[in-house]
Amino acid sequence: GENVEQHPSTLSVQEGDSAVIKCTYSDSASNYFPWYKQELGKRPQLIIDIRSNVGEKKDQRIAVTLNKTAKHFSLHITETQPEDSAVYFCAPMNSGYSTLTFGKGTMLLVSP
């Protein structure tokens, strides 16, 4: 199965700073790379995803970059705001399987 690691496990930034969370995976056949955001006590929600034929994808303040050779992908959040505070999970997937394997999560704290 997929072995997924996220770094860092916690990240504290000041409002307006950038935040980067890295996810490494083991299955070289993985071809779908989503990031989920989970606020305290709430459901995980998809915030951005990328497929293996693309190296980078951006949506307003968030972006995801993929390095398939090195088997890692990263979440980038610019101009962070307090409402970005949450736990972020990566969940790389091999489409030959049917389900996502989640990392252990990164807790992002944005201080005003």
Partner 1 sequence: GAGVSQSPRYKVAKRGQDVALRCDPISGHVSLFWYQQALGQGPEFLTYFQNEAQLDKSGLPSDRFFAERPEGSVSTLKIQRTQQEDSAVYLCASSLGQGMNTEAFFGQGTRLTVV
Contacts to partner 1 by CB under 8 A = 32, 42-46, 49, 89, 93, 95, 97-105
Of 2 and 84, the one with the shorter C-beta distance to partner 1 is: 2
* Closest distance to partner 1 from the beta carbon of 79 (Å): 25
Of 17 and 49, the one with the shorter C-beta distance to partner 1 is: 49
- Distance (Å) of CA 1 to CA 4, 12, 45, 78, 96: 10, 31, 23, 33, 12
- Distance (Å) of CA 12 to CA 64, 80, 111: 19, 11, 7
* Closest distance to partner 1 from the beta carbon of 80 (Å): 22
Of 81 and 97, the one with the shorter C-beta distance to partner 1 is: 97
Round to whole Å and give the CA distance between 13 and 93: 29
